[in-house]
Amino acid sequence: MRTVAAAIRTALLTGEPSAKAFAARATARDWAAGKLDFVFDCTMPDRPARPAQPELLPPSQMPKRNKAGSERGRIALWHALAHIEFVAIDLALDMAGRFGAEMGPEFVSDFLSVAADEAMHFALLARRLRSLGSHYGALPAHDGLWDAAHETRHDVAARLAVVPMVLEARGLDVTPATLARVRQLGDETGARILERIFDDEIAHVRFGAKHFAAVCSARGDSAEILWKSLVATHFRGSVKPPFNDSARLAAGLSRSFYAGVAASQ
């Protein structure tokens, strides 16, 4: 049988968007079916393969988005969301492949399932773009999400603290307002996509919080204290309110985790 590490590395090094999404879902399916050995016989790439488009710009150089109700504004919104989900495929794959050996099979199962979800989200968003006469890659995008992965490549606790527990948790805060705006514009298809993504992201953040707590317990650290320290050290942005406290709590993040960090920034 192939090893799970080899399958994950192959998916990470697949650049074409649809092929990457397919490879991620196939890897998760093969792992769940027992077709991949729990063996880590190769390293993960420092950077995953990327398609020629979209052009990747620093966040500060991204063009301002058009008004949400305009055709260009709608396309820009769905393109930005598609890019987030595309990069999230690699974030989940790298989590499983880079840290799976030390964390164990349950960790691999959880984050390969996340990768499969993100691949499905990307496929839905890419289809939405096509229905609007555009496509993924038509607009520039930024690479800030992968920067966070690279910054935390040395420590599973840092990766869990920043990626699921900050970046994905932020999606729980902002998606309801985006959903309401999309529904107000009469885009019920888009609203259903956002509802599906929102529900899945709660589970993704929960995986992060669960495994972070396990790491802290094994190390004899306080989860809240270590999380705040790791975020201060490795996260370049800020943890901003307003927070969706109910969704965060459903994902395993109590307000005591993040309120103090937000207040100090």
Residue 264 has a pLDDT of 54
For the chain, the domain total comes to 1
Residue 67 has a pLDDT of 59
Mean pLDDT of 5-32: 98
Q: Which domain holds residue 186?
A: 2-263
Residue 240 has a pLDDT of 83
249: CATH: 1.20.1260.10
Residue 159 has a pLDDT of 98
Q: Which residues contact 179 (CB under 8 A, 6 or more apart)?
A: 191, 194, 195, 198
Residue 62 has a pLDDT of 81
Q: DSSP labels for 46-81?
A: SS----S-SPEE-GGGPPPPPPTTSHHHHHHHHHHH
pLDDT digits (tens, 9 = 90+) for 20-73: 999 999 999 999 999 999 999 999 999 999 999 999 988 777 877 655 568 889
Tell if the pTM clears 0.85, that is, is over it: yes
Residue 66 has a pLDDT of 59
Burial class (CB in 10 A: 0-12, 13-18, 19+), 135: middle
